Amino acid sequence: MTDPRFDAVLTFIRAQYPDEDPIPLHVPRFAGRETEYLAETIRSTFVSYIGPFVREFEQRFAAYVGARHAIAVVSGTAGLHLALHAVGVRSGDDVLTQPLTFVATANAIRYLHAHPVFLDIDPDTLGLSPDAVAAYLKANAIAKADGVYNRQTGRRIAACVPVHTFGHPARIDALVEVCRTYDIPVVEDAAEGLGSLYQGRHVGTFGHVGVFSFNGNKIVTTGGGGMVVTQDDALAERIRHLSTTAKVPHPYEYIHDEVGYNYRMPNVNAAIGLAQMEQLPRFLADKRALAAGYRELATRIGVGFVDEPPGARSNFWLNALVWEDEATRTAFLTYAHQQGVLARAAWRLMSDLPMYRACPTDALTVARDRAPRLVNVPSSVRRQSLAQEVAS
């Protein structure tokens, strides 16, 4: 017999997306000037990474999040790679991060031949726990002339990468303060966090560098792409240089002064992003309204709901329910997919993936409790809300 709560959830979801079958987890909405801006890039012939839309997108984004600099890149993963490189992560270093995240977080660390150290998350934010980081560093940090070293591994601890999971802000102020005590740079993985605030300040602007994603499943998309933000002039210059194949500016000579990366965002993608940014307020308003519906539903049927943490204003990129155990979660996912509702499980913990099983961890008590019970439910901006706004 099917759990009646399953049908209650699916009935609610179908009411939000009446014209979609199957109902996807999260798809982009193009209801603005995307076509107009794309046509303009084609007419101009500036479709690669040189062009006015790139500059305008960067400026608009920096102003929105409150950053001094924004550098548009080809993906959030590329942005993390550049950010870690720029703050000084090198081959053989350790980088503190969390196990509940998309694999790109850990992969970017590995691209530099560094080693992730997976520490526990907070139960309300699902982001890296400042308490877990403080406890780990107290037990393992050894100060040396060239930095802090890990007593457990013998390697230098070169950075910390917290994630604003599903768009819910981590306790980023406390994380930054813990890391500042040990002089460890913080790179915020804000891939999912556009539009999310912590204590009135946009996520991604607390650490040395913040990185956002514009993948096709994000609130604002450029098809593929990302943005690196920082308040630091020197870091911004370094990241921009590395992202443009480390090319030394010159009117006609091709001179490259180190190994760089072809990571700059093309003008054609930035055109889409600019049009999407113009619609961000209404996207966020709809997402908060949808989250309120999920919250009420979860309370009514007795299921957990991942809500915005204290002191935060979440973008609710992906809404998440918390079932009582893994078996119930799996049964719901199976039933939902049979009914054409494409909910998904949370990511498998990074520390359980074959390429990362040997990495250091703490007990991961909260992560191991939460991850097997989480379900992301459809969270796209609803078409009817956009249509109503146009009509009004």
Which sequence spans correspond to the domains of the chain?
A: 4-27+280-391, 34-275
Query: What confidence score (pLDDT) does residue 384 get?
Result: 83
Phi-psi region of 114 (alpha: psi -120 to 50; beta: other; left: phi over 0): beta
Helices (H), 302-372: 326-338, 365-370
> Among 3.40.640.10, 3.90.650.10, 1.10.30.50, 3.40.50.150, what is the CATH number of 34-275?
3.40.640.10
Residue at 283: amino acid letter: F
Residues 6+ apart with CB under 8 A from 210: 65, 67, 187, 188, 190, 203, 204, 228, 229, 230
pTM of the full structure? 0.97
Query: What confidence score (pLDDT) does residue 385 get?
Result: 79
* CB-neighbour burial class of residue 387 (10 A; exposed 0-12, middle 13-18, buried 19+): exposed
Query: What confidence score (pLDDT) does residue 49 get?
Result: 81
Alpha-carbon distance of 133 to 120, in angstroms, equals 8
Spell out the per-residue pLDDT of the chain, length 392, in tens: 799 999 999 999 999 999 999 999 999 999 999 999 999 999 999 888 878 999 999 999 999 999 999 999 999 999 999 999 999 999 999 999 999 999 999 999 999 999 999 999 999 999 999 999 999 999 999 999 999 999 999 999 999 999 999 999 999 999 999 999 999 999 999 999 999 999 999 999 999 999 999 999 999 999 999 999 999 999 999 999 999 999 999 999 999 999 999 999 999 999 999 999 999 999 999 999 999 999 999 999 999 999 999 999 999 999 999 999 999 999 999 999 999 999 999 999 999 999 999 999 999 999 999 999 999 999 999 998 787 665 55
First CA to last CA distance, the chain? 45
Helix (H, G, I), strand (E, B) or coil at 253: coil
Query: What confidence score (pLDDT) does residue 48 get?
Result: 87
Query: Do strands 187-189 and 209-213 pair parallel, antiparallel, or not at all (unpaired)?
Result: parallel
**The total number of residues written for the chain in this structure:** 392
Half-sphere exposure of 304 (CA within 13 A, CB side): 16
Alpha-carbon distance of 179 to 160, in angstroms, equals 8
Alpha-carbon distance of 76 to 352, in angstroms, equals 23
Query: What confidence score (pLDDT) does residue 389 get?
Result: 60
Query: What confidence score (pLDDT) does residue 390 get?
Result: 53
Helices (H), the chain: 4-16, 34-44, 52-65, 76-86, 103-111, 130-140, 172-181, 233-243, 267-301, 326-338, 365-370, 383-391
* 4-27+280-391 CATH: 3.90.1150.10
Contact between residue 162 and residue 175 where contact means Cβ atoms under 8 Å apart = yes
Helices (H), 66-102: 76-86
Contact between residue 170 and residue 131 where contact means Cβ atoms under 8 Å apart = no
Query: Do strands 187-189 and 197-198 pair parallel, antiparallel, or not at all (unpaired)?
Result: unpaired
How far is C-alpha 241 from the chain's CA centre?
23
Residue at 191: amino acid letter: A
Helix (H, G, I), strand (E, B) or coil at 347: coil
Contact between residue 162 and residue 168 where contact means Cβ atoms under 8 Å apart = no
In this structure, which long-range contacts are made by residues 283-289, counting pairs with CB atoms below 8 Å and at least 24 apart in sequence?
283/29, 283/195, 283/219, 283/220, 283/381, 284/195, 284/219, 284/315, 285/385, 286/381, 286/382, 286/385, 286/386, 287/219, 287/315, 287/316, 287/317, 287/379, 287/381, 288/316, 289/385
Alpha-carbon distance of 201 to 193, in angstroms, equals 12
Phi-psi region of 186 (alpha: psi -120 to 50; beta: other; left: phi over 0): beta
* CB-neighbour burial class of residue 8 (10 A; exposed 0-12, middle 13-18, buried 19+): middle
The backbone torsions φ and ψ at residue 94, rounded to the nearest 5 degrees and listed phi first, read -100, 145
